[in-house]
Amino acid sequence: MPPRIPCRAHRAACPTPTAAVRCRTRLQQTRFASTSASAPEIYDVVCVGGGPAGLSLLAGLKASPTTCGLKVALIEGQDIQKNRLPKDASVVGFSNRCSSLTPASVRNLQEIGAWRHANASRIQPYQEMQVWDGVSDARISFDWDTARSLGPRKPTQPTTIAYMIENVNTVSALLGRLEELGGVDMFASTKVDAIELGTDTEQLDLSSWPVLSLSNGKSLAARLLVGADGANSPVRTFAGIASRGFDYSRHGVVATLDLSTAGWGGPDHKIAYQRFLPSGPIAMLPMPGNFATLVWSTTPERAATLKSLAPNDFAAMVNAGFRLSPADLEYLHTLPSGQAEEVAWREKHTPTNERGLPVRVTDVQAGSVASFPLRMRHADTYTGERVALVGDAAHTIHPLAGQGLNQGQGDAAALVRTISHAVQTGQDIGSTLALESYNEARYAENNAMLGVCDKLHRLYSVESGPIVGLRSLGLRAVDAMGPLKGFFMNRAAGGV
């Protein structure tokens, strides 16, 4: 086993880790010298991927007094500045990639000081959620009023279920915070050409360290390499960690919708809606003003049909998705056009309670209709020797509970705690021993959430038969039992 390079506790005043490495290697003068063209630059933490999870991790590290002395680098393949929200962004055009941030994620962003950098006028908290079965119409409503345990609601209890935010707004907020904190070497528009283990040279032994060769010719050695590089993570491949799972053979169709009004609860009481159709759930989530974002999980064929529709037909299909029977929807997807007229006729013969449904979609923002394949993936472990995985690199989840981005935020926060603890106790932050607590804190929790979402998807894919009756009975029972509903809401909110 190669000698481990010790890492002292890094306080703001302590010598930089690179200095620590040098002083240690001077003692190894007797080692056989080998020539190396250019020694890699040594970093404590190298994060590959500048998405919400990776940026949250770096902001967390830099915001904590314990870990702010670490030398960190960020490598992102795309131009970070180009993907930022413009400062004067008007509150009209919303991106179609939005996420629902749980109160736990928001609290974490507040703690690391990023939340105040977000564009608040483009964030929409919502206070109620209506979920129902597209086959039986069994319904459950989530709001903290009906989910109270016993007695009246305390004024201190939260009323917000979650916050709808564009992913670009989250990323911009985190970048704003990182700029404020400083001290992160950003390699934007830079690709990682290769990751391999370093060599054992005269000066220092990097044989257990991942060394990254970048497209700009630089080479970085990482005490801890963090993979925040998405579902097809090169870091995970380098670490030899298998990611298991399957494809749902479903696509998520996203779009930004124009609504006829701000919603049944007005601008101060926004409501999210989700209807479970046998092909997958359709969800409409509120955005500021008369806007909403759509996430419609459906078969790839139907997703292709939806994407090919004219705006008025697409809007009619979304209205139909919340109102018409699965049989009607099945037929509507076979038409090449003319859905608006067909839906208008069918709505006359489909009795609905409009108060329980989202307000009508009047239009869809041009160019906002897109789709992505839905997958379920889970890495065997989140940590390896000098490697940790966060966010989508570690797990990919069905979007039906809106948990994907929140899991990544939870990972980042947990990894910050783990690194912080390792620094405080003088451990090598890249050692498997130090990283163990990160895997322990997140794996089981993420696995449970992945499992629940997967089972819900399966349960609601059933179109008819006794399962429909049983699941409807169960849904109504949970709806009637306030404390039990409160428990589920707590879990979905990230255990507030």
Query: Could you tell me the sign of the dihedral formed by the alpha carbons of 496, 438, 69, 82, in that order?
Result: negative
CB of 132 to other proteins, least distance (A): 10
Contact call for residue 363 and other proteins (CB under 8 A):
no
Nearest residue (CB) to other proteins, 134 versus 176: 134
Task: For the CB of residue 267, give the shortest distance to other proteins in the complex, in Å.
Answer: 14
Residue 23 CB burial class (10 angstroms; 0-12, 13-18, ≥19): exposed
Smallest Cα–Cα separation from 325: which of 199, 443, 428, 463?
463
What string marks each residue from 7 to 46 as x (binds other proteins by CB under 8 A) or -?
A: ----------------------------------------
CA distance 37 to 46: 22
Identified binder of other proteins from the candidate list 180, 185, 200, 328, rule CB under 8 A? 328
Three-state SS at 383: strand
Quick check: 487 binds other proteins (CB under 8 A)? no
Name the one range near other proteins by CB under 8 A: 218-226, 293-301, 325-333, 363-371.
325-333
The answer to whether 146 contacts other proteins (rule: CB under 8 A) is yes
**Angle value at C-alpha 48, between 69 and 14, nearest 5 degrees:** 10
Least CB distance from residue 486 to other proteins, whole Å? 13
Counting Cβ atoms within 10 Å, is residue 293 exposed (0-12), middle (13-18) or buried (19+)? buried
When asked if residue 327 is in the footprint of other proteins (CB under 8 A), the reply is: yes
Nearer to other proteins, 27 or 327 (CB): 327
Q: Which residue stretch of 305-313, 352-360, 384-392, 416-424 sits at the interface with other proteins (rule: CB under 8 A)?
A: 352-360
User: What does the DSSP assignment read for 219-250?
Assistant: EEEEEEEEE-S-TT-HHHHHHT--EEEEEEEE
Which residues 242-281 are close enough to bind other proteins by CB under 8 A? Answer: 264-265, 269, 271
Q: Please, what is the minimum distance in Å from the beta carbon of residue 346 to other proteins?
A: 8
Burial classification of residue 32, based on how many CB atoms lie within 10 Å of its CB (0-12 exposed, 13-18 middle, 19 or more buried): exposed
- Burial per residue of 170-208, b for 16 or more beta-carbon CB atoms within 10 angstroms, e otherwise: bbbbbbbbbeebeebebbeebebeebeebebbebbbbeb
Q: How far is the CB of 325 from other proteins (least distance, A)?
A: 7
Q: Which stretch binds other proteins (CB under 8 A): 252-260, 295-303, 324-332, 454-462?
A: 324-332
Residues 124-143 that bind other proteins (CB under 8 A): 128, 130, 139, 141, 143
- On whether the CB atoms of residues 210 and 216 are closer than 8 A, the answer is no
Residues that bind other proteins (CB under 8 A): 128, 130, 139, 141, 143, 145-146, 264-265, 269, 271, 325, 327-328, 330-331, 345, 349, 351, 353, 355-356, 479-480
